[in-house]
Amino acid sequence: MKFISIINKFSKSPTEVNMLQLISFIESRKIHNEEIALLAETLATSGEKLNINKNISTADIPSTGGPSSLTTILCPLYLVHFGYVVPKLGIPGSPAGGVDILAQIPGYKVHFMKEDFESLLSKHNYIHSLADENFCPLDNTLFKFRKKVGKVSVFPLVIASLLSKKIALGVKNV
């Protein structure tokens, strides 16, 4: 079965069987950059996408977090300081991931409707929330399954997951 067929099957019906088939296919062969890009685009377009003005410079530095990792929290603030708009999505995954840390702050919201996300981004030039049923829902579903079956570190899936969130939010500089 071709990779595009597996992706289409998964995107139409993200069952555990279809997710396992996708993961197994990726692990069984060398995945090309074009295939990773196709998966990233599929994950990104499974939910809302931001339409950011082309004249606005957006940027993000992806981080997988980790104990004592300050890049997750500080880099977006530096980017804003240097004039970038920083829309950021994360997936809960580690006790020290960016969105995991922010979620510990009393009153910090991690779920937003598209309109609220855009409004806050426009006002503050930075927002960090969770991928959910609004943004990148397939990525969120696939990541939860990857955690369940011990496949969080499958490199092509890590890349596609990171890129999908950048695509969905219109990030131009990564």
Asked whether 39 and 9 are in contact (CB, 8 A), the reply is no
- Is the pLDDT score of 165 beyond 80? yes
Beta bridge partners, 59, equal 173
pTM over 0.75: yes
Is residue 66 predicted with pLDDT exceeding 70? no
The answer to whether the CB of 112 falls within 8 A of the CB of 60 is no
- Please list the alpha-helical segments (H only) found in the chain: 3-12, 16-28, 33-44, 71-81, 98-102, 114-124, 137-148, 155-168
Task: Give residue-wise pLDDT tens across range 2-19.
Answer: 999 999 999 999 999 999
- Give me the pLDDT at residue 64, please: 64
Residue 41 has pLDDT above 70, yes or no: yes
Compute CA 112 distance to the chain's CA centroid, rounded to the nearest angstrom.
15
* pLDDT for the residue numbered 101: 82
Assign 162 a pLDDT band (cuts: 50, 70, 90): very high
Query: How confident is the prediction for the chain on average, in pLDDT?
Result: 92
- Tell me the percentage of the chain whose pLDDT exceeds 90: 78
Query: With contact defined as beta carbons under 8 Å apart, do 161 and 64 qualify?
Result: no
What lies within 8 Å, CB to CB, of 138 at 6+ separation is 10, 11, 14, 42, 43, 46, 47
Contact predicate 142/43, CB 8 Å: yes
> What pLDDT sits at residue 92?
81
Q: Given this model, what pLDDT does residue 1 score?
A: 72
Domains of the chain in sequence order: 1-49+136-169 (1.20.970.10), 70-130 (no CATH)
| 130, 111 Cβ separation under 8 angstroms | yes
pLDDT digits (tens, 9 = 90+) for 78-135: 999 999 999 999 888 765 678 888 888 899 999 999 999 999 999 999 999 999 999 9
